[in-house]
Structures are given as structure tokens and as C-alpha cells.
Structure 1
Amino acid sequence: MTVLALVAGLVLLVGIISVGLARGGRGQAAPGAHPPMALPADLQVRVRALLGENKPVLAVKEVRQATGLGLVDAKRIVDALKSGPLPEPLPYAPGGQGSVADRARTMRDAGDLPGAVSLVQTETGMSAADAERFVSTLS
């Protein structure tokens, strides 16, 4: 498969998902549910550069790789970046006070899911997917 065919397939997939969400498809988030919006400044700069080059698919891919988020949440973040800057994650201090779970829960509840996932990955060695599942189950 050529790179061009792969890119075309990704563009088609993003378009299908976007149309489905616009029409109220099954993959639509619950009302009031928002993807994590805290992104490091360097990631925001890279994503904005890709958007400036008219490469939204690569921008979504960049967000997914950097955060471990799914396609729909990453696309929402990229769309939000088009209209203005997003907050930066709270500072991460390894070995801080409290358990990893307590610190990750605090970060997640403050709107910094990528930071919480990163904290769990760094301190436990979990994969991004496992760390995201762990953070999402914290009550």
C-alpha cells in the first residue's frame, strides 16, 4: 500500500466520522462531555504548524501519538485548536505526595487527562492504553 493510499484512507475515515458526529451518530459524545483540553505548548505549536500547512489528518495523528487519545477526541482537540489556544497541562512533579492514583485523579479532575496518563505511565511503566484505562477507572 502506498503512502498516498494510506493518507487518502485516513482522510476518508476522518470525514466519515465527522459526518456521523454532525448528524448525531452513535459515536457522538454525551452532551457536555469534552475531550481533555490541556496540551503542552510545544504540541500546540506542532499541531498549528500542520494545520497551517493544510494537513489536518497529520495534526490529528500528532495529537493521538502524543496523548494516547482516540480518533474522535483527538479530532475535537485539533478542531478546538483552530479557534484559539488551549490551556497547558499542570506541572508534573514525579514522586509527589500521595499515591499515583490520587495524583492522577486530581490531574484528571482538573481537566488534564494527558498529564494524568503521562504521570501513570512514567511512574508505573504502563503502556499509554493501560494508563488511560487506569485513569478512566479512578473514582
Structure 2
Amino acid sequence: MGYKFTKNLETGNAMIDKEHQELIQAVNKLLEACSEGKGRASMDETINFLNSYVNQHFSHEEQLQVRCSYPGLTAHRAFHEKYKQTLKEITSRISASGPTIAELGKLNKHISLLISHISTEDKKLGTFLNQS
């Protein structure tokens, strides 16, 4: 099981699309490590990278939004903050107790939320950026 960066997720902004592809690769790496019972050190490295990359990517998106006076910035930033917090909570539990079925289910649900956000809100942002 894994996620794919499809045409439906393209925003039309090269930086955002590249970072989304890298995010999906990091998610898939974590899911693979969990499903293969890889050592905790391997999982922790991937968890740390994923959380760090999400923070970096969201910061990049928000900087673009500020620069171009994106009208949806406040709501977009609120989503990002809540998303980062929940991701950190889920991955901390996976790191502490291992990849239980319940935690992997929560992680998958949370990743699906990000995919949905990309396919709707980030596409709106991409359209706005391309018109600016």
C-alpha cells in the first residue's frame, strides 16, 4: 500500500508539486518501514524526516501565500498548524509503542486528509499563484 502523486494532485506550481512528491515519498517510506517490521531506528529516522519535511513544506507554502497576498492564508495556515500537531502526536505514539494497527490506521487517515487538502486547497492556491 502506498500513495502516488497523480495529475489530480498537481497544483501547477513547480516548488509545491516537487515538495508534495517528496512528502508522498516520505510517507510511503514510513508505511513501508512499519509494514516490514523494520527496526525502530529506521522508523524513527523516517518519522523525524517526515515531521521536519511537513514543517518545512508548510512554511514554504505560507511564505508564497504571504508574498502574493493569498486571501485564503488564514484558513490555510490554521489547517497546517492542526495537521502538524496531529501528525506529531500520531508519529510519537508509533515511535514509542511501535506500528500498531490502530496507529497505522490513524496515520493513513491523517495522510488521506493531506491528500484531500492537496487536491482541493493547494490546487486553489496553485491556480491563484498562476494568475498572479
The normalised TM-score by structure 1 is 0.29
- Larger RCO of the pair (alpha carbons < 8 Å, separation 6+): 2
Which structure carries more helix by proportion?
A: 2
Larger-Rg structure:
1
